[in-house]
Amino acid sequence: MRHDAAMDLAALMSTMKAMSRLTLPKVFVSEIRKASSVTLLTCCGLRHFAGPAGSSLTSGRTAGRLVIVGDVHGCSAELEDLLEAADFHKRSDELIFVGDLIGKGPSPREVVRIAREFSAKAVQGNHEYNLLRWRRRGAPLPDPEKKIKESYAATVKDLEEDDWQWLEALPLMLHLDLPKSPLPVVVVHAGLVPGVPMDQQKPYDLVHLRSIDAEGHGSKLFDAGAGAWAKNWQGPTQVIFGHDARRGLQKEAFAIGLDTGAVYGDKLTALLLPKNWDKPLTSLDNSHFLSVKSHRAYASKSDSKA
């Protein structure tokens, strides 16, 4: 019996090594390594080796976290780095994106594939919003008359029908399930206009807003009169958002901005929010934020304001 278990372990390690040599994204290999020994061994047909109790294979978080990721923009390598650095555990953690998963960057399909594989939730960013609107008009490709942006054309070619269906189903606003939170928490891509009821916020603002102008209206511009919308937002709903790489990480009284410019060669950032979080988000400390460095710049900040 002991001999069998040793043989099976050797076979398992060999399988793992073989899998590592495949061109699987490292996040999946990492996920496989973290899977419980029972699942791992069952899937390999090796049922009688239980694995060492309490090892890294069997220990999992009980409460779990919401891992909320800033603007990825097709940077799949950085997304894999981030999930690995977060020690993301598919069984207990939940993956959430603040939108702009695609657009500008190198691997939109890969990012959508990771999101779907991990059963992630997400809101639409301005890039998803605009692409979906463009696609709904039924414009053929290539489409010189409608002047679809070059990077959009590449993205449209890259995505498959299943990916489009997944994107089509994304909402503009997501209410997070945090049963112990004293205040509601929502995710939107860009922002909310102070003074406007939640259910009357305009879709355009939800995916484009950056600032509040001198008259108190929403603006997509960086330097409108009253500054960042998040500084002007008085709650009580707490908002997690992206879209504003120029301002980078924002930690305001009722709003947290997570776009740290991954596609521009800066960083990709996640908020690691325990599912049993029971305080205002202002109580989050640095340990709840995780960033990974981009491999390189895939776009120039001067290319576009979006």
Q: Which stretch binds Mn ion (CB under 5 A): 13-21, 46-54, 100-108, 197-205?
A: 100-108
Q: With respect to Mn ion, which residue has the nearer C-beta, 7 or 297?
A: 297
CB of 243 to Mn ion, least distance (A): 4
Total binding residues toward Mn ion, as defined by CB under 5 A: 4
Q: With respect to Mn ion, which residue has the nearer C-beta, 59 or 304?
A: 304
Residue of 124, 126, 250, 294 interacting with Mn ion (CB under 5 A):
126
Mapped onto helix, strand or coil, the DSSP state of residue 240 is: strand
CB of 9 to Mn ion, least distance (A): 48
Contact call for residues 259 and 70 (beta carbons, < 8 A): yes
Contact call for residues 140 and 236 (beta carbons, < 8 A): no
Q: With respect to Mn ion, which residue has the nearer C-beta, 159 or 188?
A: 188
CB of 40 to Mn ion, least distance (A): 39
Q: With respect to Mn ion, which residue has the nearer C-beta, 101 or 148?
A: 101
Q: Give the span between the Cα atoms of 96 and 105, in whole angstroms.
A: 19
Mapped onto helix, strand or coil, the DSSP state of residue 172 is: coil
Q: Which backbone phi and psi does 113 adopt, to 5 degrees?
A: -65, -45
Q: Give the span between the Cα atoms of 201 and 227, in whole angstroms.
A: 19
Q: Which stretch binds Mn ion (CB under 5 A): 4-12, 35-43, 118-126, 277-285?
A: 118-126
CB of 90 to Mn ion, least distance (A): 27
Residues 170-199 that bind Mn ion (CB under 5 A): none
Place of tokens 């950085």: 78
Q: With respect to Mn ion, which residue has the nearer C-beta, 34 or 121?
A: 121
CB of 127 to Mn ion, least distance (A): 6
Q: Which stretch binds Mn ion (CB under 5 A): 9-17, 87-95, 119-127, 150-158?
A: 119-127
Q: Which stretch binds Mn ion (CB under 5 A): 62-70, 98-106, 143-151, 164-172?
A: 98-106
Q: With respect to Mn ion, which residue has the nearer C-beta, 72 or 212?
A: 72
Residues facing 68 on adjacent strands: 96, 271
Residue of 243, 247, 267, 275 interacting with Mn ion (CB under 5 A):
243
Per CB under 5 A, 125 contacts Mn ion:
yes
Contact call for residues 268 and 78 (beta carbons, < 8 A): yes
Question: Using CB atoms within 10 A of its CB, is residue 196 exposed (0-12), middle (13-18) or buried (19+)?
Answer: middle
Buried b (16+ CB within 10 A) or exposed e, 133-150: ebbeeeeeeeeeeeebbe
CB of 95 to Mn ion, least distance (A): 19
Residue nearest to Mn ion (CB): 243
Q: With respect to Mn ion, which residue has the nearer C-beta, 66 or 306?
A: 306
Tell me, letter by letter, the H, E, C secondary structure of 9-23: HHHHHHHHHHHHHCC
DSSP characters over 176-201: ---TT-SS-EEEESS---TTS-GGG-
Q: Which backbone phi and psi does 68 adopt, to 5 degrees?
A: -105, 115
Q: With respect to Mn ion, which residue has the nearer C-beta, 77 or 123?
A: 123
Return the structure tokens found at 4: 């069998």
Mapped onto helix, strand or coil, the DSSP state of residue 255 is: strand
Residue of 78, 100, 163, 205 interacting with Mn ion (CB under 5 A):
100
Residues at the site binding Mn ion, with contacts judged by CB under 5 A: 100, 125-126, 243
